[in-house]
Amino acid sequence: MNRPAKAPADLHPLTDTTANERLYRYESSVKQAFDNIVPVLKQIASERCDPDFVDRAQQITAQEFGFELPAHILDTAWATGLDMRRLFAWCVFETYRRVSDEFFNADPLGGRVGNDFQAFLQQCGFHLMDITPCADGRLAHAISYVLRLPYGAVRRKSYAGSLFDIENTVEKWIETELMRFREGIPNRADEPTRYLKVVIYHFSSVDPAHQGCAAHGSDDEAAAREGWERLAALRQAIENGFCCGASVGLLLIGMDTDTDAIRVHVPDTNGYCELNQWLDVAKVHEITRGLSAAEARTRIAELVQAHMPGSHAGGAQANGMGASSTDGLSDKGMLQLIARLIENNLSQIDYVRHFHDGHYQDIGHAERFIGTGIGFEEIQLRNLTYFAYLSTVEEGAADLDVGIKIFTGLNVSRSLPVPIVVRYDYHGNVPGARERAVAHCERIAAALKARYPALCSDGMLHCLRAVRDCDAGTPIELVGSSLEPVTGGMH
């Protein structure tokens, strides 16, 4: 936050400096809140021999964190010693709760409502944008920062390796179509727009062999290919399962997790893209930096058009030969949408250059906690959370094991426990849904305990349980924690 701003001359003419300042304030304040925990606890630990220790500790945390420590942990310190691990986990959970509450109460990123973007998307020929970034924490800011989209106006479903669930996406497509037919939301079914599915795979320009996508063994080609295969399979599933020209739009994007620059695999008029052909936005930045804003926009549109497969080769494909499921409207609209994403990404490239010296210092994992279950809309910051989205530990065990391995390096090696937030969002208008969500959290927490018994019994894994009514727009509701005071043994 105290970093001196570089001269605007460095910046691209299309960069939104006001947004960059605001986004940086949010990023640094949230991360600072987490990163402050260890130094403050060290200070508290150093005063544990003080006769007024409990008062002193509360005084320090009230001042540094803005909240008090739980009495049931401090009060037993005189007898059993101060359990710094429990205090650490408790502070991480409390900080998470405060960050989450602020997000839902105050909308600090201003992305909850996205009417302008929704209108633009429909102009481009799409009624819903459904994005799957990798679940890697280094892509958690993909929507709000890297692409600068209002998180409330797009669907985000993160999966390890960006390998989204086809059956689940078909269900969402069905639900979306029915809302168009029955209720005209977001537009009527007879309007010629499509559902757009986007995959964002990732790679590392600084350390390509080690810091790429773990799910694909840092093999960028495999990440792109398998992402595209999943997209093509979704389209085939919908075209096979439904008649009358049912289809979806597809878009494949790569992202450099060191610089946040994206590369776009511009699709041809048949909706297919080339895996080894893309438009690199870092290059777009370079090419258009010296132009005026208006000139840069024109040049970007030209570059997007030029990167359509077939546009160099004489346009045989570009004439829409074959059983095309797209039409002129959505071709043109797809190019407009891509141009907008590129323009948005230019701001993020300058964000990283300006505030993070060109590339992030934490090119690898530096997450503050593990988030597992269904939800976490409020996590829009890079490297804050390792995600293991899952309905059951049985299905998500591989992702969880990776998370535990990462946190063994990040935390356990420093004698700090692994903090896991188990979250389950539900639709409050469905009777009994809240109770089922709470039960689901408890089942996941029990399965975590069964999977990592040694960590749990050593106090090296702690678990917070939270649910949220995603229809109501309210903050999360805490429903339990492994840090709760142990009550009497009478029941």
Q: Residue numbers of the site for a second copy (CB under 8 A)?
A: 166-167, 170-171, 174-175, 177-178, 181-183, 189, 232-233, 236-237, 240-244, 246, 391-395, 427, 429-433, 443, 447
Structure tokens at 383: 């490297």
Backbone angles phi, psi at 187, to 5 degrees: -150, 175
Give me the least distance between CB of 169 and a second copy, in Å please.
10
Rank residues 392 and 474 by Cβ distance to a second copy and give the closer one: 392
Give me the least distance between CB of 174 and a second copy, in Å please.
5
Listed residue (50, 42, 35, 49) closest to 84, CA to CA: 42
Give me the least distance between CB of 381 and a second copy, in Å please.
30
Q: How many CB atoms sit inside 10 A of residue 313's CB?
A: 9
* Catalytic residue list contains 101: no
Rank residues 73 and 402 by Cβ distance to a second copy and give the closer one: 402
Type of residue at 63: Q
Q: How many CB atoms sit inside 10 A of residue 485's CB?
A: 10
Give me the least distance between CB of 447 and a second copy, in Å please.
5
Rank residues 123 and 325 by Cβ distance to a second copy and give the closer one: 325
Rank residues 106 and 323 by Cβ distance to a second copy and give the closer one: 323
Rank residues 39 and 184 by Cβ distance to a second copy and give the closer one: 184
Strand-pair partners of 130: 155, 197
Structure tokens at 348: 């993020």
Q: Quick one: which H or E segment has residue 459?
A: none
Structure tokens at 379: 């996590």
* Contact predicate 339/296, CB 8 Å: no
Give me the least distance between CB of 429 and a second copy, in Å please.
4
Query: What is d(CA 194, CA 90) in angstroms, rounded to the nearest whole number?
Result: 46
Secondary structure (H, E, C), 330-387: HHHHHHHHHHHHHHHHHHHHHHHHHHCCCCCCCCCCCCCEEEEEECCCCCCCCCCEEE
- Residue 428: burial class (beta carbons within 10 Å; 0-12, 13-18, 19+): middle
Rank residues 31 and 216 by Cβ distance to a second copy and give the closer one: 216
Q: Alpha-carbon Rg of the chain, whole angstroms?
A: 24
Strand arrangement, sheet containing 126-133: 155-156, 126-133, 194-203, 248-256, 262-265, 279-280
Give me the least distance between CB of 306 and a second copy, in Å please.
32
CA distance readout (Å), 201 to 71, 133, 305, 361, 456: 45, 6, 22, 21, 33
Give me the least distance between CB of 195 and a second copy, in Å please.
13
Rank residues 87 and 393 by Cβ distance to a second copy and give the closer one: 393
- Residue 43: burial class (beta carbons within 10 Å; 0-12, 13-18, 19+): middle
Catalytic residue selected from 75, 107, 116, 136: 136
Give me the least distance between CB of 215 and a second copy, in Å please.
16
Rank residues 429 and 487 by Cβ distance to a second copy and give the closer one: 429
Structure tokens at 484: 């709760």
Q: Which residues are catalytic?
A: 136
